[in-house]
Amino acid sequence: MTLPRRPVELRTDRLLLRQWRDDDREPFAALNADPVVMEHFTHPPDREASDAMVDRLSAGLADRGWGLWAVEVLDDGGFAGFVGLSPVGDDLPPAPAVEVGWRLAHERWGHGYAPEAARRALRFAFEELALPEVVSFTTVRNARSRRVMEKIGLTHDPAGDFDHPRTPGWSGQRHVLYAVTRDAWLAGDR
Ligand SMILES: CC(C)(COP(=O)(O)OP(=O)(O)OC[C@H]1O[C@@H](n2cnc3c(N)ncnc32)[C@H](O)[C@@H]1OP(=O)(O)O)[C@@H](O)C(=O)NCCC(=O)NCCS
């Protein structure tokens, strides 16, 4: 996988996928504390864990040049959440792989922002990083997220579904795996 020489920012018609800033910390902690946003997560992060996540995501962008970018809505300059790419943890069954993922503030839902940003991230994954495949996964019940996966051209691979090893005993432990190969992406409507 080729490494970009400098930190990457990506643009779409309505969005900027950029580096994290200190003033993102408060709105990010607020969306992490929102039970609607966190419906499909076992342990919503508190303020300290949310800030630690910003540190981790910023470091990932700095180290690799790509990752889970902060998403800004160009119209109003507001922080909306994150969308981007992340290496799948070694302990998870889809590994080794790169995942496309998203988390947006509730008031930003329903505008098609997640698919718009995720399509841009996929283009980066295939055109710049030349990855052979990108995956995404979520708990079975997360219909909104599954719909985003379908809208951006990923398909469900039931043979890859798995019980998330970090959430034993949780009713949402079963995860669905979606994927798109570079060849399918090149052949598709992107
Ligand atoms: C998933 C998420 C990013 C979607 O973002 P978004 O920008 O609102 O995406 P969209 O505007 O395209 O809307 C999502 C789609 O889900 C559909 N949807 C909404 N509720 C739904 C439901 N209960 N069942 C099925 N589809 C649903 C919407 O209608 C829309 O599809 P459509 O355009 O075909 O109508 C956002 O809901 C979110 O941040 N969720 C919480 C975090 C999360 O779960 N992240 C993923 C963890 S793996």
Cα gap 3→134, rounded to integer Å: 17
Is residue 47 in contact with ligand 1, taking CB distance under 6 Å? no
pLDDT digits (tens, 9 = 90+) for 154-176: 999 999 999 999 988 899 999 99
8 A C-beta contact, residue 6 and residue 66:
no
CB 106 within 8 A of CB 165: no
Residue 1 above 90 pLDDT? no
| Residues facing residue 177 across a β-bridge | 137
- CB of 40 within 6 A of ligand 1: the answer is yes
Q: What is the pLDDT of residues 111-166, one digit of tens each?
A: 999 999 999 999 999 999 999 999 999 999 999 999 999 999 999 999 999 999 99
Domain boundaries, the chain: 10-187
Q: What is the number of the ligand 1 atom nearest to the C-alpha of 138?
A: 48
Between the CA of 140 and the centroid of ligand 1 the distance, in Å, is: 14
- At residue 189 the predicted structure's pLDDT band, cuts being 50, 70 and 90, is confident
What CATH code would you report for 10-187? 3.40.630.30
Instruction: Please check the confidence at residue 26 and state whether its pLDDT lies above 90.
Output: yes
Residue 141 Cβ < 6 Å to ligand 1: no
Centre of ligand 1 to C-alpha 30, Å, is 19
Q: Which atom of ligand 1 is nearest to the CA of 113?
A: 7
Dihedral, CA of residue 156, residue 158, residue 162 and residue 167, to nearest 10 = 50
CB of 165 within 8 A of CB of 39? no
Confidence tier at 90 by pLDDT (50, 70, 90): very high
What integer best gives the mean pLDDT of the chain? 95
Q: How far apart are the CA of 147 and the centre of ligand 1, in A? A: 6
**pTM, to two decimals:** 0.94
CA 98 to ligand 1 centroid distance, Å: 21
pLDDT band with cut points at 50, 70 and 90 for residue 4: low
CB 117 within 8 A of CB 83: yes
